[in-house]
Copies of this chain bind each other. A is one copy, B any other.
Amino acid sequence: MPKVTIAQNILAANDTIAGEIQQLLAARGIRTINVMSSPGAGKTTLLERTIEQLRGQLDIGVIEGDIETSADAERIEAAGAETVQINTRGACHLEAHMIRAALEEIDLTHISLLVIENIGNLVCPSAWNLGEDMRVVVVSTTEGDDKPAKYPQMFAASQVMIVNKLDLLPYVDYNVEKVKRQALAINPHLRIFEVSCRTGTGLDTWCEWLMRYVHSIPG
């Protein structure tokens, strides 16, 4: 069949601001993770469960990115984390200057982990550095098991992949091993967790690892 290829560079002009954010947060001993996924893969529910499970053990602050609405931020705040809402009003990803503005609204003195929940989008957010230490991509068993191959930049740019909605595996055509193979072919260093935020499967392993990650911070 005929193919038409269009080359396009997505240039990250915000790297300078991202570098300043990273320095600011590192100086305060705060680890920062940038959580990305398709719409509806379960980022917010994963954060709710993580915050609930680590309550009393880890002080978590959250920056919630959404195009419109503050429904997710309200859920996160109800789960017990200090939360700042960013509404991008149409923009499909967060940028470093938005994070810099949000940081002025959050009390950093008690926080050891800052979580940035990006816009639901498996494409654009991967190109924008927000000053994070780690990128987490969430996929779910209902999205089809071809996502790493179809959206490789997201998986190349992440350090962790979380496969969510394990509870729905009996009802969908989804091969977890195939997804892991695809993702590891793109990024052999990817750390993979398999969870169900609905039943709780796998959340202990994820939360324990996250605790160790946060406390391994140097200085």
**A27 CB within 8 Å of chain B:** no
**Shortest Cβ distance from A202 into chain B, in angstroms?**
18
**Which residues does chain B contribute within 8 Å of A70, judged by CB atoms?**
1, 3
Of A1, A101, A150, most buried by chain B (CB within 10 Å of CB) is A1
Task: Provide the bound-state CA to CA distance between A102 and B88, in Å.
Answer: 32
**A201 CB within 8 Å of chain B:** no
Task: Provide the bound-state CA to CA distance between A168 and B77, in Å.
Answer: 30
A residues 87-117 near B (Cβ < 8 Å) are 87-92, 95, 97-98, 101-102, 105-106
**A119 CB within 8 Å of chain B:** yes
Closest to A87 in B: B5
Size bin of chain A's contact surface? 35 or more
Task: Provide the bound-state CA to CA distance between A160 and B71, in Å.
Answer: 25
By the criterion CB–CB under 8 Å, are B142 and A2 in contact?
no
**Which residues does chain B contribute within 8 Å of A97, judged by CB atoms?**
6
**Which residues does chain B contribute within 8 Å of A88, judged by CB atoms?**
6, 8
A77-B1 CB under 8 A given contacts A8-B88, A71-B149, A124-B124? yes
By the criterion CB–CB under 8 Å, are B2 and A89 in contact?
no
**A120 CB within 8 Å of chain B:** yes
Task: Provide the bound-state CA to CA distance between A84 and B6, in Å.
Answer: 13
**A40 CB within 8 Å of chain B:** yes
By the criterion CB–CB under 8 Å, are B38 and A4 in contact?
no
**Which residues does chain B contribute within 8 Å of A122, judged by CB atoms?**
39, 120-121
**A48 CB within 8 Å of chain B:** no
A150-B120 CB under 8 A given contacts A39-B143, A40-B38, A90-B10? yes
> Considering the complex of A and B, which 6 residue pairs feature the smallest CB-CB distances, nearest first?
A40-B143, A142-B142, A2-B105, A92-B123, A40-B144, A8-B91
Q: 5 A-B residue contacts at CB 8 Å?
A: A1-B74, A2-B85, A3-B87, A5-B87, A168-B168
Binding site for B on A (CB under 8 A): 1-10, 38-40, 66-71, 73-74, 77, 83-92, 95, 97-98, 101-102, 105-106, 119-124, 127, 140, 142-144, 146-147, 149-153, 165, 167-168, 171-172
